[in-house]
Structure 1
Amino acid sequence: MKAQFKAECPKEIQMTMTLTMTLAEWTEIAEHLTDTRHYRPDGKLLDAIRTMTRKAAAHFDAETEEG
């Protein structure tokens, strides 16, 4: 038996981001979320989200090229 997984619509796949940080880092993130200045392009949370989405998109793009 041969099976192949192919995401029909990668943008619709739910993703979970797990963050493991020190208390100080969590405090910093909490401050970022209450102060919209930190949603600027160099914000840590925004950077983490961009990294996750970039890696996921690269994965699905590579999978499409192979398939």
Structure 2
Amino acid sequence: MKIKKFLLVVAALLLTGAVLGDENKETWGPDIGSDLPDLAVKDTEGKDRTVDDLRGENKGLLIFFIKSSDW
């Protein structure tokens, strides 16, 4: 009986998380396939790097935008 209650609570939490997580998906992050703004940042050696530098000859670049925790 305890196992059934536990599984019911876990299922309810997972369902609640899925519903609430889907609520904000439209408002977070850039659109898929959108162009990056022109920006330049310094690499670990202190050199300025642009998005075009990172793309290289093949013009392919994959950047992950990750929502981080506040440490």
TM over 0.5: no
Short-chain TM bin: 0.3 to 0.5
User: Larger relative contact order (C-alpha < 8 A, sep ≥ 6)?
Assistant: 1
Which structure shows the higher helix fraction? 1
